[in-house]
Chains A and B, each alone.
Chain A
């Protein structure tokens, strides 16, 4: 798969922006993406957009142009942005349009993501079990027990995120924190502390895509989409907000989406030069390194000790500070990862640019109730 190219990217700063709606941030991202490839809204043959709490994406046309284009709203939890991108790719591959735009934006209140019980009278929330943070604590606690990952390694992931975020002008949290500060912050859900968790936030991302053979009409630096795969959980997968799980084991939707994406791209993990992996919390980044095929389970302890996932390391991970430093506006989060990879492949990532001219870049989102989306980009 290499018949689709990304030619323009735009982002509204992540963080908290009083008085600026989620939709405002989506509109800003669209204008910036169009400007990035020198195009007008009127040239867009289709649009796909999504947001969880920011309103119906298609209503933004009343502000950016009533051109009559087909505009599809998508909502797919944490994979909303990734799904918007995948739908844009499908539209181009099917021949329904040659040039279009994928959009994701959101704005969540502090401490958002209130969860309701799985069914009927809310015994689950009533009993104090309806918190996603508990799942993350329990998954990494089991993983640490099985594979010998230690708490200082969790703190290393947090410190790296804030160090990278400090180099990213679009990031929310731009103050570096030491491993000690991360480790000694408030314990929220053992073994995870406050600064090991990301927060609900705000932001917007848009990208203009086109048929690969037309890419040079819009930019002299097109980035090609080699794979885009979305998978949901199978029986035996350990997922968030589950009152029970099977004893039978399945490696989960991330492993499945990753395998599918590598097959689609015709390459392997060893070919990837930079990766953005879902880091809802520090443990997730560690587990996702293995679930995406970048190492064996347990090797992360040594890899982090060696600095292999730093910007100048063997496999730089979450070079823009990830969810930890950017927060998680659900609709925009997956597209933020792709935006960062386009910058890295163009060589435009500034102070956080990965050295040695990266050629292949990988993104991975994961969310409730067990969904993963992977993209692979190349120059």
Chain B
């Protein structure tokens, strides 16, 4: 059976088949940071606590990666196997805007302000046969119907 592993430790955790982003909250000014870091660039305070970020938000802006990135560092398929992907910032209410891949790459299906939710996104299979995944944002299906 294939094991699913995160592209790196400390960025997100996989829980019930979904990613949970690992952030930091400044205990002085409530500023949220991602990925985790020490030191708050907003209030310059240096005491933070680890938090899990919201898993849903709205699309703040987006683009489409239409050509293969250099590999390395890119872990996904390149050359003839390259698949264009969306990239965007999703605003997590009251926290911050997080950059991530989007499961949609058709400009006609992407709109600023649309509700989004976090999902796992497969990148590659590593040398041990594990499925390496990153996180991505997918349009949120309000009715819960299969999309």
Contact = CB atoms under 8 A, between A and B. Distances in A.
A147 interface: no
Interface in B98-120: 98-101, 107, 112
A6 B91 CA distance: 47
B120 to A, nearest CB: 12
B107 A190 contact: yes
Contact of A126 (B35, B64, B73, B99): B73
Interface of A: 111, 114, 116-131, 134, 137-139, 141-142, 145, 186-192, 235, 242-248
B97 A134 contact: no
A247 B95 CA distance: 7
A130 B75 CA distance: 12
B65 A122 contact: no
A131 to B, nearest CB: 6
A128 B65 contact: yes
A134 B86 CA distance: 10
B89 A138 contact: yes
Contacts, number: 124
A192 B74 CA distance: 21
Contact of B8 (A126, A129, A189): A126
A114 B70 contact: yes
User: Which A-B residue pairs are the 3 nearest by beta carbons?
Assistant: A125-B73, A137-B63, A123-B8
A328 B89 CA distance: 27
A138 B64 contact: no
A248 B42 CA distance: 10
A188 B87 CA distance: 13
Contacts of B98: 243-244
B60 A142 contact: yes
Contacts of A126: 7-8, 72-75, 123, 134
Given A119-B35, A245-B89, A247-B91, A128 B101 contact: yes
